[in-house]
A = this chain, B = another copy of it.
Amino acid sequence: MASINFWFSIGSTYSYLTVMRLPAVAEAQGIEIGWRPFDVRRIMKAQNNTPFVGKPEKTAYMWRDIERRAAGYGIEAALPAPYPIANLALANQVALLGLREGWGVDYVQATYRRWFQDGQPAGEAPNLPDSLREIGQDPDAVLARAESPEIVAALEAETETARDLGIFGAPSFVVGHELFWGDDRLEDAIGWLRRHRL
């Protein structure tokens, strides 16, 4: 069982930092991570919580902050990336399918790289099919499965679970019943795990 659940949406900007650094952090710390894609936009709309759209000053800061922190982590980034992306649900349906089939983390990293380093929006061509091909998946076959009623319903169910956990943004980390929001709270989440021996 995962010690920390990492709730993310492809489409969230700060999730880029976590997606790129989490595997190495988890390995170094010996922590099992559950990668849990959900539809953060659906929750934000329902909660009237739109952090960046229509807020140019805050948006400008967000890109600069991500740029600085990516540099601090040694993560490449060409910013600003196209934002917001149009097909958030599809991008995350593919992630959910991939996590079930064992290629999810590779896809999430590949699609974020194309989005944040090459300027190609996630969830659409050319990013989506090229990312799938890069990790050895057939784009047409994957998209057929990712758009099936089963996967659509599974992402909606995960989104409901996220909402029930009190999640309102991405990335979020859940340790036991404790919620931590933001890439900059990953270390707090790990510290919580250690202190409570979960």
Contacts and interface: CB of A to CB of B under 8 A. Distances in A.
Interface of A: 47-49, 54-55, 57-58, 60-61, 64-65, 68-69, 72, 166, 168-169, 179-181, 184-185, 188, 192
Given A65-B181, A68-B188, A48 B55 contact: yes
Nearest to A59: B168
Contact of A64 (B60, B169, B179): B179
Given A65-B181, A181-B65, A58 B168 contact: yes
A61 B184 contact: no
B168 A55 contact: yes
Contacts of A181: 61, 65
A186 to B, nearest CB: 12
A136 B60 CA distance: 43
